[in-house]
Amino acid sequence: MQRRSFLKLSALTFTSLLGQAGCREGGGDEGDGGPPYDVVEDPEKFPQSLASGDPRPSSVVLWTRIEDPDFPDEDYEVELELWVDGDEAGEPTLVAVTAEARFDHCVKVRADGLLPGTAYRYRFLYIRDGIGYSSNVGQTRTAPEPEADVPVRFAFVSCQDYGGRYYNAYAAMRAEEIDFFVHLGDYIYETAGDSSFQQGGGERSVIFDDEAGALPLTAGDGSTFYAARSLDNYRQLYRIFRSDPALQAIHERVPMIAVWDDHEFSDDCHGATATYHDGREDETDPARRNAADQAWFEYMPVDYPDPEFVYDPAVPPPDDISIYRDLEFGRHLHLVMTDLRSRRPDHLVPEDAYPGAVPLDEAALTEVAGDTAAGVPYVDIDGYAGGMYAALLRDEATAAGYDPQRITGRVSALYINDVIADTGSALPPIEPAELDAMPRGLAFHQLFKTSLYGQLGARYLLVHPPFMLYASWLDRQSSGAAQLLMGEAQRSWFLDTMKGSTHTWKVWGNEFCLTPLNIDLTGSFLPETFRQQFQMTAEDWNGAPHERARIIDELAAVDNVVAITGDIHAFYAGTPFSWPGTSEGNRIVEFVGSSVSSATYRSLLVGQVHGDPGLSSVPGIDAFALGIRDLLQGGPNPQMGFAEPGQHGYVVVQVSGDELVAEYHLHPEDLAFEQRYDDPDLASHFSVERFRVLPGSRDLYREIEGNWARWDPTTQQWG
């Protein structure tokens, strides 16, 4: 490889973002013969290749990792070359930095003083015994200057599970002319071999070297799998995932802007708390969260406001690291990235909530609903009927491993009758006349919470009307704190940043859905228990409906707000209003991209149906899962203009002063099981859907047969 010339700017500075190892200018100036070592191409010394991130008009972060099995515990001498793309002559000036063993030999450097809107090339050299072992050459680009009237084109992705699946979306995305790409989370998956949704075996296996430091878990089929817990576990996941050639290729070509979602730490997490056991035990683990956060800090090319910030695992989460930030690209794009995991409270319905418990008594239900028509009759279980029903419920709970002492106070009389019937108890059921005379409140079983420990009726598949009443009551009881997904400081920063922006487009990098995912099964052929109006999840913004409404109402005061969203493993496009089911009022535009490779929403739903004994035996439930697209699009979701829950891919967005256009690139799920990175016909496996938003409008347009059609939420038609 020819020696490259280094851009010489008086303001050019370099800052190491991993540790206190100083960056210094070294090597020779032009014409002095260059550095005192031979350069040898050896990308194997850089098994994760290189990456860049967080481009700003004058700076970018450059990353690599070195691996030398002969010296695994030493710090390494490394040098960085950076030059303007196209400038190939002359001798370089080199910048020296140390790859420290304490940071898994990762190198992360902020190059500042660069030219705006300029393409650069760079490489790293590992210096050992008079030889400079060279990485591949990477490309990156700085953001345009703030007042530049230029279009900006970028992609966004999320959810890239590795086990048994391939990143064909990245292989295709590499052909796109983009300035950068946004990763909205689930860059890694903390579990290895969870048979409920992951595949294993062959070259795409994840097996933890530090198995003793990992967290053993049991899948639905009884098999044991592991989740990352130690720092080495999390580091190994980044090493494995970023060994993929397609992922390396896109990192080598353009910078990335990333935030995390849940799997960078733990599935469906809130703060430092995992949810694998559905309330059977306390899963709060700050040390595990620290390990996950440190690995993310080491491996992701992210810039931080404080140039001296170095991750300190002694600082407890969530104060150990802050990743929300904003980046500006010329006159037309302000990208605002949030963190919706670190400070969010627990899900509103506990996974271990007792199904028969009545959290809203008659007075509370009347307060939020205006009457008690939505309630069920309840009793004080401790004193009712001399305690004989309390003994039955507690015996049943004890047999199931549930703490019987939690069964106290208000309990649904209908639930008592169900337990009598299910257990074959000789106790007499409560008679209808007595039920009619009882006070009425809201019980957890009305939300579809039917098991003592479980996700249904808690995080997933909740009956929508009673959930909204329960959420309203909790919101009042907590003065909004129960739904504060961003935390107070981030929320204030986010709204101030959005409202204060002068850019044409304010694009929110949003981890999970604002668009409601509600279904109406009242007219279905499923058993009567299922003939209700459900919301598919309470894990996203729809699990905090009042805070969701407040955020959308606040954003209504800002022109040209567009959310780009990941997490859900499906493509959606719509105009989410403040309140689900409405087709008027405050709204913004949301583009939701599917997963790169992780199992699609439809296949996950099918798997959940087959894996849950309470669901798999329900007649017609397979048709419900397979037909989820038609259930979601239309009916209770007038805000949803497009739905495709069964394909993978990526989204390309182009912004200018005239429009924002989003191109969905979709490929069938089967393709994710094949490595097609070098297939010249790979693009033919993708279909494209194009959407548009115009400045000053909150309408969504879709290109249909060469014409732009507007989505009408009232008629739920494109026209």
Walking along the chain (719 residues) 10 residues at a time, the average pLDDT comes out as 36 74 45 68 97 98 97 94 76 78 96 94 94 96 97 98 96 97 98 85 89 94 93 98 98 98 98 97 98 98 89 96 97 98 97 98 98 98 95 96 96 98 96 97 97 95 98 98 98 98 98 96 92 97 97 96 98 94 86 97 92 83 92 91 97 98 98 96 97 97 97 94
How buried is 460 (Cβ within 10 angstroms: 0-12 exposed, 13-18 middle, 19+ buried)?
Answer: buried
Distance CA 543, CA 290 (A): 26
> CA 380 to CA 410: how far, in whole Å?
5
What Cα–Cα distance (Å) separates residue 640 from each residue in 156, 321, 635, 714? Answer: 20, 35, 10, 11
Contacts 24+ apart (CB under 8 A), 297-300: 297/321, 298/18, 298/103, 298/104, 298/106, 298/108, 298/235, 298/238, 299/48, 299/63, 299/65, 299/104, 299/106, 299/235, 299/238, 299/242, 300/53, 300/63, 300/187, 300/256, 300/258
Cβ of 255: how many Cβ atoms within 10 Å?
Answer: 26
Query: Smallest Cα–Cα separation from 93: which of 166, 34, 49, 53?
Result: 34
> Residue 282: exposed, middle, or buried by beta-carbon count in 10 A (0-12, 13-18, 19+)?
exposed
Measured distance CA(240)–CA(228) in Å, rounded: 13
Domains and CATH numbers, the chain: 13-141 (2.60.40.380), 154-344+484-718 (3.60.21.70), 362-463 (no CATH)
Closest CA to 189 of 148, 226, 144: 226
- Contact between 647 and 594 (Cβ < 8 Å): yes
End-to-end CA distance of the chain: 57
Any alpha helices (H) in 593-649, and if so which ranges?
601-611, 613-616, 621-626, 628-632
* Reported pTM: 0.95
How far is Cα 6 from Cα 217, in angstroms, rounded to an integer? 51
Residue 275 is predicted with a pLDDT of 97
What's the rounded Cα separation, in Å, for the pair 208 and 106?
Answer: 20
Task: Give CA–CA dist 520/528, Å, rounded.
Answer: 13
Distance CA 630, CA 120 (A): 47
Give which of 544, 580, 577 is closest to 472, Cα–Cα. Answer: 544
Detail the DSSP E strand segments found in 270-332.
325-329
What pLDDT shows up at residue 488? 97
